[in-house]
Structure 1
Amino acid sequence: MTTVKKIARNSLFLLFGQVVSIVFGFFYFVYMARYLGAEDLGILSFAISFASILGLIGDFGLSSLMIREVSRSLAQAPKYLGSILLIKILLSIVNFGAAAVAINILGYSEPTIRVVYIITLYSIATNFTYVFYSIFQAFERFEFQSLGIILNSTLMIVGIFFAVEQKLDLVYFAFIYLVVNVIILVYSFFICLGKFTVPVLRIDWIFWKQIISESAPFWLNSVFVLIYFKVDMVMLSLMKGDSVVGWYAASYRLIDALALLPAVLMSTMYPVFSKFYVSSRDSLEFAFKKSLKLLTIISIPIGIGTTILAERIILLIYGVEYSHSVIALQILIWASVLSFINYTPATYFNSVNRQRTLMMFTFVGAILNIILNVILISRFSYSGAAVATVSTELVVGLLMVSNIHKIEKLSSLLTDVIFKSLVAGAIMAVFLLFFYNYTLILLIFFAAIVYFISLYIVNGFDEDDIHLFMQILRR
């Protein structure tokens, strides 16, 4: 199987799973948001953000390291999987203890504390699931991860609809998250054992020390990234209350859904980049440039279109109660645009053993984000939190791009792609404003057509892009 065919196959499998996840997730989140209201949604969103931040204790970057190393040598899978599972058991105990201590020190109400306990267990189960997903990715068999994502979304939508129909309270909604993810963990465990490898469960202190040392930069990178994507909800909860978190979370949910698009592509490209780094630097450079160009082209019309249509989107999805979410969405969408563009260089750094460099950039981003949130949330509430997120993504992106010296003509490539995409996006914006009151779904569909036709006219695609696209379609 050729590299292009394998990338296309894996991307399609993962894309299908993520599309189902986005659609199902959209329906169950909106259904849940309308039922719970802004205050209870704020509590649940706070718990998820809180557990996500402390959940990093239970990962330590081990899954990312395993993808890179096992993709280079599949024979390493049993040793890596067994060691990482044992380490994660120990880390998960520390994770739950830290969450229990922290949430009690912060002085939250008893119902909020119960929700945090349950969501922390959900986060731990998800961490173990990602270990097995890492094996699927390293073997480049993304169909099993895709099936797990679809199963997760299906069970979630069934559980949420059941809870709403039975008029259950917030704690039961938290239990749904936990139960569903335990089921997915069991599924991924048995698929891994039956299809790929059996872990060698052996305590090897020397090997453990080696992999922890190598994975630490991956972990710190995840810590810093999660801080500037999740700490805002925790700070909003402490400074502004649960309803404000609910309004902000409603917009953030839409941004999270969009983040699945670059995540799909770069999940399939990560093992490819890692192999090319040791086998073909020219192929690595080619794959990097094409990935960066594709994600930039996709992201800019999303930013422009969402900014114009934000009010219609929020009112249609959530209703008048969440009208405060409009301004947050108009700002946060540009964090999503920058995140699309930043995904490729971030994956490149991890693939070429430069995770420590990436760690330093995300550290700068985390510190900047905390400072900006402290300043802006007190004055501008959730709008300030959104501006802090956009600013952080911009700074980290500039640091990454300016540091990749080995990619020839990268700055000129990115400038050219962004300029042409903005020109095409401006034409699309005129179309959207002129036909603003038409049916939303049709408006978005035809706006996309206008954008890509305009991009073609301004030479936003070259012959290599078209040839590569046709090659993928044929396969």
Structure 2
Amino acid sequence: MLDKFKIPKLSFIKSRSGLREIITNTGWLFFDRILRMGAGLIVGVWIARYLGVQQYGLFNYASAFVGLFGPVAGLGLDGLVIRRLVHDSSAKEEILGTTFWLKLVGPILALLLAFGGIFLSKNDDSLTVWLVFILAAPGIFLAFDTIDLWFQSQVKSKYTVIAKNMAFLAITIVKIILINIKAPLLAFACATSAEVVVGAAGLVIAYKFNKFSVRSWRWSLSVAKSLISESWPLIFSGFAIAIYMKIDQIMLGEMVGKEAVGIYAAAARISEVWYFLPTIIVSSSAPAIYAAKKEADETLYYGRLKKLLRFLVLVSVTIAFPMTFLSGTIINLLFGNSYAEAGTVLAIHIWASLFVFIGVAVSPWFVAEGLTHLAMYRAILGGITNVVLNLFLIPSYSGAGAAIATVISYAVGSFLANGTHPKTRKIFMLQLKSFLFFNS
């Protein structure tokens, strides 16, 4: 009887040494996110209280607008590059060099699109235009995140954690100073952007510490063509994901006002703070999943995916259930009475985490199976669902309506859409069974 109620173990690989590497790597990533979740939440709440609902809403509106063009900056390369590095580390210099230059072109294009879009739509609102430009410009330095992809492929994320957390802590101190000297909104945007630049410098130093040099990287046209041929569906998929993750705040700002964005952003900040969990667990376990696929061991391959899914479902429900009842108390305690309406939004929005977790969990499967084009279609379906639902729900229910739209669209894009195509029904059934996490 007791065997039927086993909690799923986080054991994705056979060898103890490999498992030890994953646990160590995950530990570093947990440290990174816990530090960011703790310090970031405290200072973020402090900033929200200082700026007030209106300016906090404006800042998040600009951030969401920039986020819409994030997929152009990333070009959907990360998972593909990690897979290549795992399979063929001997071609490391060409893979990393080509990735770097592609990641440099992407952010420049994203900056032009973001700035052009906001200038055409808000040319009479100079503050919003400047906010978007300041937040989008440092994306160019994200090209150095290529180094992080190498560390991920080697399950050595501790170097990225150290480099980026030093930048995070330095800028956190700067933000505290800005609050105390009563700095304007644009100063906080500049500080946010500076963290990207400092973090990039830290990655270069960490790479040199490991006796590597970015100067040895080489451009390869053939590698570039191969990567882009695989990544273009992920770019469009990323656009769709960005729409159903960011469009709610933009539509709230346009249909209701910046204060509604501030209320919604406060709730979303608490809800989305948990999204680091599936990201770090999957980033650490993905190399093992790719390795099992390469070995053509279907039992091991799907066994690892199954355990990963069940574990993440259990974690998400453990978070969402109590948060539903404590949402009002948490919002009032952290943000104050001016953000009280965010309690209702949080109680709804927190359930999006369930579908975020299981969506992230199967992302290595889409890469390993070469089905990134299908990931694009499911993301587009989720994005369309969110926009349509927002059009109907926001006018009547404001932020709560946007939260309902978000939960449903996440369910469609990350889960239900997989059941609509023959090639993804296998992973859909695995996702469906993952809800029975107490089953053997």
TM-score normalized by the length of structure 1: 0.83
- 1:410 counterpart = 2:430: yes
Give, in angstroms, the shift of residue 148 of structure 1.
3.1
In the other structure, the counterpart of 1:227 is 243
Return 370-379 or 388-397, whichever deviates more. 370-379
Secondary structure of the corresponding residue to residue 188 of structure 1: helix
Distance in 2 between residues matched to 1:167 and 1:327, nearest whole Å: 31
In the other structure, the counterpart of 2:343 is 326
1:351–1:15 distance in 2 versus 1, CA, 3 Å: farther
Pairing of 1:71-86 with structure 2 (within 5 A):
71-86=86-101
Distance in 2 between residues matched to 1:364 and 1:191, nearest whole Å: 40
Distance in 1 between residues matched to 2:21 and 2:116, nearest whole Å: 46
- 1:102 counterpart = 2:120: no
CA offsets 1:114-138 (integer angstroms, 9 cap, x no match): 111100123343x324322112101
In the other structure, the counterpart of 2:8 is none
1:45–1:129 distance in 2 versus 1, CA, 3 Å: farther
Aligned-partner residue type, residue 253 of structure 1: R
Aligned-partner residue type, residue 171 of structure 2: M
- 1:353 counterpart = 2:374: no
In the other structure, the counterpart of 1:188 is 203
The question of whether the paired residues in 2 share the 8 Å contact of 1:64 and 1:218 is answered with: no
- 1:386 counterpart = 2:403: yes
Distance in 2 between residues matched to 1:132 and 1:367, nearest whole Å: 34
In the other structure, the counterpart of 1:62 is 77
Secondary structure of the corresponding residue to residue 19 of structure 2: helix
The question of whether the paired residues in 1 share the 8 Å contact of 2:418 and 2:427 is answered with: no
In the other structure, the counterpart of 1:162 is 177
Sequence identity (%): 25
- 1:240 counterpart = 2:256: yes
Distance in 1 between residues matched to 2:70 and 2:418, nearest whole Å: 26
In the other structure, the counterpart of 1:9 is 24
Pairing of 1:27-176 with structure 2 (within 5 A):
27-107=42-122, 109-125=125-141, 127-176=142-191
Distance in 1 between residues matched to 2:71 and 2:181, nearest whole Å: 34
The question of whether the paired residues in 1 share the 8 Å contact of 2:33 and 2:276 is answered with: yes
CA offsets 1:186-239 (integer angstroms, 9 cap, x no match): 111232244274445555434322211111122222221111001111111122
In the other structure, the counterpart of 1:470 is none
Secondary structure of the corresponding residue to residue 265 of structure 1: helix
Distance in 2 between residues matched to 1:374 and 1:129, nearest whole Å: 39
In the other structure, the counterpart of 1:435 is none
Give, in angstroms, the shift of residue 404 of structure 1.
4.4
1:345–1:411 distance in 2 versus 1, CA, 3 Å: closer
Give, in angstroms, the shift of residue 349 of structure 1.
1.5
Provide the aligned C-alpha RMSD in A.
2.1
Give, in angstroms, the shift of residue 268 of structure 1.
0.7
Secondary structure of the corresponding residue to residue 2 of structure 1: helix
1:284–1:325 distance in 2 versus 1, CA, 3 Å: same
**Residue from 384, 390, 399 that aligns with 2:417:** 399
Distance in 2 between residues matched to 1:138 and 1:383, nearest whole Å: 40
In the other structure, the counterpart of 1:310 is 327
Aligned-partner residue type, residue 179 of structure 1: A
CA offsets 1:69-94 (integer angstroms, 9 cap, x no match): 11222122211111122223233322
The question of whether the paired residues in 1 share the 8 Å contact of 2:418 and 2:428 is answered with: no
In the other structure, the counterpart of 1:341 is 358
The question of whether the paired residues in 1 share the 8 Å contact of 2:164 and 2:202 is answered with: no
Secondary structure of the corresponding residue to residue 68 of structure 2: helix
Distance in 2 between residues matched to 1:401 and 1:347, nearest whole Å: 18
Distance in 2 between residues matched to 1:76 and 1:201, nearest whole Å: 10
Aligned-partner residue type, residue 120 of structure 2: I
1:197–1:366 distance in 2 versus 1, CA, 3 Å: farther
**How many aligned positions are there?**
419
Return 206-215 or 259-268, whichever deviates more. 206-215
Give, in angstroms, the shift of residue 407 of structure 1.
6.3
Aligned-partner residue type, residue 56 of structure 1: P
Distance in 2 between residues matched to 1:98 and 1:41, nearest whole Å: 24
The question of whether the paired residues in 1 share the 8 Å contact of 2:147 and 2:207 is answered with: yes
The question of whether the paired residues in 1 share the 8 Å contact of 2:151 and 2:160 is answered with: yes
The question of whether the paired residues in 1 share the 8 Å contact of 2:78 and 2:149 is answered with: yes
Return 245-254 or 374-383, whichever deviates more. 374-383
The question of whether the paired residues in 1 share the 8 Å contact of 2:37 and 2:273 is answered with: yes
